[in-house]
Structure 1
Amino acid sequence: MTIDPLVLMTDVDQATETLLRAAEEFDDSVIGEPSGLPGWTVGHVLTHLARNAEAYTNLLVWARTEVETPAYASPEARNAAIEAGAGRPLAEQIADLRAAHERFADAAASMPAQAWTFRYPAIVPSAAVVPWARLREVEVHHVDLGRGYTPADWSDAFALRLLREIAGDLPASAPAMVLHPAGADHPLLVGAPSDTAPVIGGPTRSIAAWLAGRADGTDLTVSPDGELPQPARWK
């Protein structure tokens, strides 16, 4: 699915603003409370979102200047920055996230057309994918905050793209299944082709959330009748 990266940046702006408005309604004590991610508090998730915006800014700078600018100095540096910032007061976290997003948006606006075709040696295929990657981070981790925002709040377009991405990224060793989201023109195959693979049906948002590990799949159907397979772990 090809989408103009600048069009996607509009979605990133909107999703980020929705998250920030929600966070502004939190009580400061929420920072130390558990999030939907094992071992991470709400503060960890907010800090990660800010540092991730900076990481993707680095990738856009790399594409524009062709001077190597890694997303993170190292996995260890990434983890240390999240731990260091997780306990900060809510107001500081919100200001940090807003500023990091604005820098990312400015970097995207500064990209000449040809820079979007820049291909990295690893991480993401090209600069054009970076806005989608950021939108995915904001939408999925907004759910991970565990404060009322759920996959039901995702747009149809986001849920469908996320579903297609996860289905396409899962290894051939993943449990074989056929995904049949409501309203989709074509089913999606996960795992090795099999005549006995169960068909999983339901709303696109629900299937995407289940594959992403953000829902238990209780509103999905299985044909022939049986239990839902255990999906392979996603990020």
Structure 2
Amino acid sequence: MIDHAHDLASVRDATDRVLSAAAGLDNVSVAEPSRLPGWSRGHVLAHLSRNADALVNVLEGRPMYAAASIRDADIDRDAPRPLDVQVADLRESAARFQDAGAVPADWSRSVELRNGVVDSASRIPFRRWAEVELHHVDLGIGYELEDIPEEFTRREIDFLTERFDGHPDVPSAHLTDGTHAWTTGRPSDKPDVTVTGSLVDLLGWLCGRRDGSGLTVDGGSLPALPPL
């Protein structure tokens, strides 16, 4: 059972971590490349701010973005801003998200995100948590996948294996860290491959932050995953 209140608190904690880390940057370093191809650290911070506002739209029953092109245009517009403006925007947009999450509501209702994706409102705080944790890593300023809370790592693996489950372009795969196990990819009576590794390495591969070199694959090669 998803506990949206717990996840909102986890989002707040994760946001505090990224705000504290970002405050240690300066106007030169915020303009430097992030770990995401083609994006500066300013792009990453701008995306986090605009994503918070987009998820407020979702919680309040509006389209996530008024048009498909607006998401990228807003990020490009906001990326070059000085550090103090970036940090203030992230703090204020995060507060708006928390305020929207504090409004009494039917958390079992369905809501629509980008590209026609429909989900339970109760999963929106976890989706925001994922944005904050993974993009903190993308900033490339000392926060790594190993620093992410284990609860999030396990749940994000759950989320991503569910996302790829049944995908026709992903071979049937059994994933394990030796304690937990997941299946994903094309339906099959017997998985094509078994992928074994630490929780962190499994997460890194599934979310596209690592190439999977830390994983062991039996039965074939490591599956190529579609972009998120």
User: SS of the residue aligned with 1:34?
Assistant: coil
Note the 1:1-235 alignment, pairs <5 A. Answer: 2-62=1-61, 69-112=62-105, 115-121=106-112, 122-170=116-164, 171-184=167-180, 186-193=181-188, 195=190, 197-224=192-219, 228-235=221-228
Structure 1 letter corresponding to 2:107: W
User: Conserved in 2, the CA contact under 8 Å of 1:175 and 1:232?
Assistant: no
Using a 3 Å threshold, how does the CA distance of structure 1 residues 213 and 50 change in structure 2: closer, same or farther? same
User: Conserved in 2, the CA contact under 8 Å of 1:177 and 1:199?
Assistant: yes
CA distance in 2, matches of 1:89, 1:126: 36
Report the Cα offset of residue 127 of structure 1. Answer: 1.2
Report the Cα offset of residue 15 of structure 1. Answer: 0.4
Structure 2 letter corresponding to 1:5: H
RMSD between superposed Cα atoms in Å: 1.7
CA distance in 2, matches of 1:92, 1:35: 18
Sequence identity (%) = 36
Structure 1 letter corresponding to 2:92: A
Q: How many residues align?
A: 223
> Which deviations, in whole Å up to 9, do the C-alpha atoms of 1:23-81 show, x marking residues without a partner?
0111221222111111111111100000000011111122xxxxxx1111112111111
Matched with 1:66 is none
Q: Is there any run of 5+ residues in structure 1 with no aligned partner, and where?
A: 63-68
User: Conserved in 1, the CA contact under 8 Å of 2:46 and 2:86?
Assistant: yes
Structure 1 letter corresponding to 2:168: A
Report the Cα offset of residue 123 of structure 1. Answer: 3.1
**With structure 2 as the length reference, what TM-score do the two structures score?**
0.91
- Write out the 4+ residue segments of structure 1 that deviate beyond 4 Å after TM superposition: none
**With structure 1 as the length reference, what TM-score do the two structures score?**
0.88
Structure 2 letter corresponding to 1:215: R
Report the Cα offset of residue 194 of structure 1. Answer: 6.1
User: Conserved in 2, the CA contact under 8 Å of 1:213 and 1:233?
Assistant: no
Report the Cα offset of residue 3 of structure 1. Answer: 1.8
Report the Cα offset of residue 118 of structure 1. Answer: 2.0
> Which deviations, in whole Å up to 9, do the C-alpha atoms of 1:89-131 show, x marking residues without a partner?
011100000000001101111133xx21221354331211110
Deviates more, 1:84-93 or 1:192-201: 192-201
Report the Cα offset of residue 213 of structure 1. Answer: 0.7
Q: Is there any run of 5+ residues in structure 2 with no aligned partner, and where?
A: none
